[in-house]
Chains A and B, each alone.
Chain A
Amino acid sequence: MTASDFDAVVREKERIHSGVFRLAFDAPGFLGAPGQFLEMEPCSGPFPMTRRPLTINRLLPGGFEVVFEIRGRGTELLAKKEAGETVRTLGPLGRGWRTDPGRWLLIGGGMGAAGFPFLKSELPEPPMVLLGASSSARLLQTGGHELVATEDGSSGIRGLVTDLLPGIDFSRFAAMAVCGPLPMMRAVWNTVPQEYRHLIQVSTESRMGCGWGVCEGCSIPAFGGGYHKCCTDGPVFMGNELDWNRWTE
Chain B
Amino acid sequence: MNAPCLERHLWGTDFNSPVILAGGTAGFGRELAELGCLEGVAAVVSKSVTLNPREGNPPPRIQETAYGLLNSIGLANPGVYSVVSQLHEVAVNMFCPLVINVAGETGDEFQEVVRVLEGSPVPWAYEINVSCPNVACGGHPFGAEPEAVERIARSVAEASSRPFAVKLTPNAGSLVETALAAQEGGAAGVTVCNTFLGMKMDWRTGETLLKKKVAGYSSPALLPLVVARVWQVSRAVSIPVLASGGVCGGEDVLELLAAGASMVQVGSRLMRRPFAPAELLREAKALLEC
Known contacts A3-B35, A50-B271: A215-B25 contact under CB 8 Å: yes
B253-290 to A contact mask, C-beta < 8 Å, 1/0 = 00000000000000011111011000000000000000
B32 within 8 A of A: yes
Known contacts A206-B60, A216-B76, A219-B59: A49-B68 contact under CB 8 Å: yes
Give every chain A residue within 8 A of B31 (Cβ-Cβ).
Answer: 212-214, 232
A241 within 8 A of B: no
B67 within 8 A of A: yes
Residues of chain B in range 176-222 having any CB-CB distance to chain A below 8 Å: 218-220
Give every chain B residue within 8 A of A61 (Cβ-Cβ).
Answer: none
B152 within 8 A of A: no
Verify A48–B76 contact, CB threshold 8 A. Answer: no
> How far, in angstroms, from A226 to B218 measured CA to CA in the complex?
26
Give every chain B residue within 8 A of A227 (Cβ-Cβ).
Answer: 55-56, 59, 76
Verify A220–B25 contact, CB threshold 8 A. Answer: no
| CB contact between A210 and one of B58, B218, B274, B275 (< 8 Å): that residue | B274
B27 within 8 A of A: yes
Which applies to chain A's interface (DSSP): helix, strand, loop or mixed?
loop
Q: How many B residues face the partner with a CB closer than 8 A?
A: 36
B46-80 to A contact mask, C-beta < 8 Å, 1/0 = 01000000011011111110111101010010000
Kindly report which residue of chain A lies nearest to residue B37, judged by CB atoms. Answer: A5
Known contacts A207-B62, A226-B55: A217-B71 contact under CB 8 Å: yes
Give every chain B residue within 8 A of A221 (Cβ-Cβ).
Answer: 58-59
Whole-angstrom distance between the Cβ of B59 and the nearest chain A Cβ? 5
Whole-angstrom distance between the Cβ of B79 and the nearest chain A Cβ? 12
Give every chain A residue within 8 A of B35 (Cβ-Cβ).
Answer: 3, 5, 212
A41 within 8 A of B: yes
> How far, in angstroms, from A74 to B63 measured CA to CA in the complex?
13
Verify A48–B64 contact, CB threshold 8 A. Answer: yes
**Most chain B beta-carbon neighbours within 10 Å: one of A47, A214, A225, A246:** A214
Verify B270–A217 contact, CB threshold 8 A. Answer: no
B99 within 8 A of A: no
Verify B274–A216 contact, CB threshold 8 A. Answer: no
Verify A212–B64 contact, CB threshold 8 A. Answer: no
| CB contact between B63 and one of A207, A215, A216 (< 8 Å): that residue | A207
Verify A210–B56 contact, CB threshold 8 A. Answer: no
B128 within 8 A of A: no
A122 within 8 A of B: no
| CB contact between B248 and one of A46, A206, A217 (< 8 Å): that residue | A46
Verify B61–A213 contact, CB threshold 8 A. Answer: no
B163 within 8 A of A: no
Kindly report which residue of chain A lies nearest to residue B28, judged by CB atoms. Answer: A214
Known contacts A49-B271, A207-B60, A213-B27: A219-B76 contact under CB 8 Å: yes
**Most chain A beta-carbon neighbours within 10 Å: one of B59, B64, B73:** B59
Interface residues of B (CB under 8 A from A): 24-27, 31-32, 34-35, 47, 55-56, 58-64, 66-69, 71, 73, 76, 218-220, 248, 268-272, 274-275
List 26 A-B residue pairs with CB atoms under 8 Å apart, sorted by A's residue number.
Answer: A2-B34, A5-B35, A41-B272, A46-B248, A48-B64, A49-B68, A49-B69, A49-B218, A49-B220, A49-B269, A49-B272, A50-B64, A50-B272, A51-B271, A74-B64, A90-B274, A206-B59, A210-B25, A212-B274, A213-B27, A214-B47, A216-B73, A217-B71, A219-B59, A226-B55, A227-B55
Given contacts A207-B63, A210-B270, 8 further A-B contacts (CB under 8 A): A46-B220, A207-B61, A209-B71, A210-B25, A210-B271, A212-B31, A213-B31, A227-B56
